[in-house]
């Protein structure tokens, strides 16, 4: 794992306890160098940063110490917590994003991400269920890291969780209170329901994006996965 120190001046002190989640982002910029400059720009009108940036070749740039509060989450919420910058470690992945021709994340980049994430989780005692997407915590504003991100591959390595519904999940899905279930796993109940469902699908049911008309709709498979996620979330 190639790690380069590249300190960003854009951080402050965490409020509350140590970080207990990881937030995955994409840069939405053409090159990693462009993103690096932006994340380290102390003179920008809107200052942003993250703890790490990973280039497409797997090179990792360390921007902010994990015990400090980087500025990556913006207006966001998870499980009723609005200051996600204080709760999270933010990882940016170099990717043109939906603004510049969204593409899959290369194997070298995902390998570096997995190695880094395992270390972060071990250092900070972060649970797999607390590995989240930027779109999870800000579903009306953000799409990243998007449906091409390999959440299942990470979950197979213990980084995040992947809900594989059982027969009883499909049975529960038929009578599910969708809003209540989404709120129970952490999504903000004040967000637009379609946006929240879309965010859930980006993370846990990306195949649905092959059928655009179903995106943001409460189809049976989506709700069954939501049911299973509730069980995974609340399992000891």
**How many Cβ atoms sit within 10 Å of the Cβ of residue 55?**
22
Q: Give CA–CA dist 35/129, Å, rounded.
A: 28
Neighbours of 75 (CB within 10 A): 11
Catalytic residue among 45, 92, 115, 221: 92
Strand, coil or helix: 14 = coil
Tokens of 52: 């790490």
Euclidean distance between CA atoms 122 and 131, whole angstroms: 13
- Catalytic annotation on 207? no
Strand-strand pairing, 52-54 and 88-93: parallel
Which residues are the active-site residues? 92
């Amino acid at each position: 794992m190639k790690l380069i120190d590249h300190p960003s001046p854009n951080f402050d002190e965490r409020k509350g306890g140590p970080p207990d989640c990881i937030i995955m982002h994409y840069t939405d910029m053409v090159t990693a160098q462009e993103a690096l400059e932006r994340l380290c720009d102390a003179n920008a009108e809107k200052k942003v940063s993250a703890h790490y940036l990973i280039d497409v070749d797997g090179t990792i740039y360390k921007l902010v110490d994990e015990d400090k509060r980087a500025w990556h989450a913006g207006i966001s919420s998870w499980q009723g917590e609005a200051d996600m910058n204080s709760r999270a470690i933010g990882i940016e992945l170099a990717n043109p994003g939906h603004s510049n021709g969204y593409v899959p994340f290369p194997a070298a980049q995902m390998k570096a991400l997995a190695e880094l994430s395992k270390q972060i989780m071990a250092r900070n005692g972060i649970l797999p269920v607390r590995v989240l997407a930027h779109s999870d915590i800000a579903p009306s504003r953000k799409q990243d890291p998007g449906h091409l991100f390999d959440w299942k591959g990470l979950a197979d390595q213990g980084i995040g969780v992947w809900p594989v519904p059982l027969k009883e999940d499909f049975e529960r899905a038929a009578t599910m209170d969708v809003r209540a279930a989404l709120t129970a796993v952490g999504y903000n109940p004040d967000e637009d329901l379609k946006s929240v469902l879309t965010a859930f699908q980006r993370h846990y049911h990306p195949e649905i994006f092959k059928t655009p008309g179903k995106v943001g709709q409460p189809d049976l498979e989506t709700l069954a996965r939501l049911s299973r996620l509730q069980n995974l979330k609340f399992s000891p």
